[in-house]
Amino acid sequence: MISVVLPLTALLAGVALLLTGSGLLGTLLAVRGGLEGFDEQTLGLVMSGYFAGFFLGTYTAPPLIGRIGHVRAFAFCTGLCAIAVLLHPLWVDPGPGSACACSPAWPWWGCTR
């Protein structure tokens, strides 16, 4: 039993870190938007950008992986995720905020398939 579970620990730990980071980012965006005075509808639209990114990733990432390979595509998507998360404090406007909320989900879904 241990010989079966041991190789999966790194994978499960990585997925746990990704999900923890995603949950913390969602919480941070909701709290920060509330502090900035966004109404509930605007916050809902910004937060739905994350799931729009999931949708876009299913269509745009496979051609990217086919063109440049899975290792380079994963590196590109990781950089895009980091940039999108770091841009959240700079753009406190709902428009760019929705784009930033969409950006981490696109590569995460598309490049981890």
Return the domain boundaries, the chain.
2-111
Token pair in block for residue 45 = 């639209």
* Model pLDDT, residue 29: 82
Q: How far apart are CA 56 and CA 24, in angstroms?
A: 22
Contact in structure between 44 and 112 (CB atoms under 8 Å): no
Q: Tell me the C-alpha to C-alpha distance, in Å, between residue 72 and each of 65, 77, 106.
A: 8, 8, 16
* Model pLDDT, residue 91: 74
Token pair in block for residue 89 = 């404090």
Phi, psi of 14 (to 5 degrees): -65, -45
Q: What is the pTM of this model?
A: 0.67
* Model pLDDT, residue 67: 93
Per-residue pLDDT tens over the stretch 57-95: 888 888 988 999 988 888 888 788 788 788 777 777 766
pLDDT band at 6 (very low <50, low <70, confident <90, very high): confident
